[in-house]
Structure 1
Amino acid sequence: MTKHAPLPDLAARGPADHTVRDQIIAAAHDYFAHYGYEKTTVADLARAIGFSKAYIYRFFESKQAIGEAICLSTTGKLFDEVRAAVDAGQTATEKMRLFTETVTSAGLGLLFNERKLHAIAAQASIENWPSAKVYTDRLKALIESIVKEGRESGEFERKTPLDETTRGIFYAMMPFIKPIFLEHSQSILPRAQTDVTSLILRSLAP
């Protein structure tokens, strides 16, 4: 199983009271999921928890910082789903197929089942929030590990620089990874994702 670094706590500040911070994040998750990120204010969250706005600001410097925490949690679950699928693969070729299939299906699951949280992830991606970069960096690292395994087993070619290959695969998959792109790619799924995966695997052949 591929090892990965734990998620950073990008949004944390103030007292090291994880119980209170978790309360705020849980309330924010419920509010964002129900009303949407844009329509929720810090005052709404304060009323829901029974805290003052000033007290919440001791833990998070802004609503975006709370959104960052939600985004980290949401994309962390997506990544865990993708990684679990990849770890079940027996060969690098199978792992690459599982990667492309699962990163797409996991994103669609968020879009269909938790649309308002999907909107947060989309906004994070559009505005380049640090939490969005964490997710894409983890996906790139996973792609790189699959390519390395394929090169070591002789399944994949070794001429192209590893970083170039990793970037190329990520760029090819971007319509199915980036939330805002995925939302507009529904009409061409699953055919498009299958065709892109086949193209990626042909390009990796030795």
Structure 2
Amino acid sequence: MNRPVRTRTGSGEARARILEVAEEHFRRIGYHRTSVADIASELGMSSANIYRFFRSRDAINESICGRVVNEVADIASAIARTNAPAWDKLDQLLTAVHHHNKMMLAKARPMHELVVAATQENWPIIRGHISSGW
């Protein structure tokens, strides 16, 4: 199904829509099997137009990887902001991270594979995530 990107509304919205479609494809068939042409076709645009918003295919991969990696950081931050005692927060955190990782392995394996590749290949998004303390 083609969903046109309206570039007049701003490059931020176009970038967000490109990432949304890319993530849908990554989750469904994996990042290795998703091409820029697949993403462009879904959006009703040319591959060249995708490169107006992302300097490379690697930039798309890193952006999607960053979203996945930040899911756990967001979970941890939400738990940290609660008024629960520290031991309860730790219990919640360990349970939530375990649940998230189990879900990634069972239901979102292509996204898990993306993060594994990013870690093994030492992508900048992973280096930045590690250096931020997460």
TM-score if structure 1 supplies the norm length? 0.53
1:58 alignment partner, SS class: helix
**Structure 2: runs of 5+ lacking an equivalent:** 1-9
CA distance in 1, matches of 2:82, 2:61: 32
Q: Which residue of the partner structure matches residue 86 of structure 1?
A: 80
Aligned alpha-carbon RMSD (Å): 2.1
Structure 1 segments of 4+ aligned residues over 6 angstroms from their partners: none
Q: Which residue of the partner structure matches residue 189 of structure 1?
A: none
Residue 21 of structure 1 aligns with an amino acid whose one-letter code is R
Distance apart, 1:29 and its partner CA:
0.8
Q: Which residue of the partner structure matches residue 23 of structure 1?
A: 17
**Structure 1: runs of 5+ lacking an equivalent:** 1-15, 142-206
Q: For this pair of structures, how many residues does the alignment match?
A: 125
1:37 matched to 2:31? The reply is yes
- Within 5 Å, give how 1:58-73 maps onto structure 2: 58-73=52-67
1:37 alignment partner, SS class: coil
Distance apart, 1:89 and its partner CA:
6.1
Residue 123 of structure 2 aligns with an amino acid whose one-letter code is W
Distance apart, 1:82 and its partner CA:
2.2
2:52 alignment partner, SS class: coil
- How many percent identity over aligned positions? 30
1:19-38: CA deviation from partner (whole Å, max 9, x where unpaired): 21112111101111111111
Residue 125 of structure 1 aligns with an amino acid whose one-letter code is T
For residue 124 of structure 1, the aligned residue among 86, 93, 118 is 118
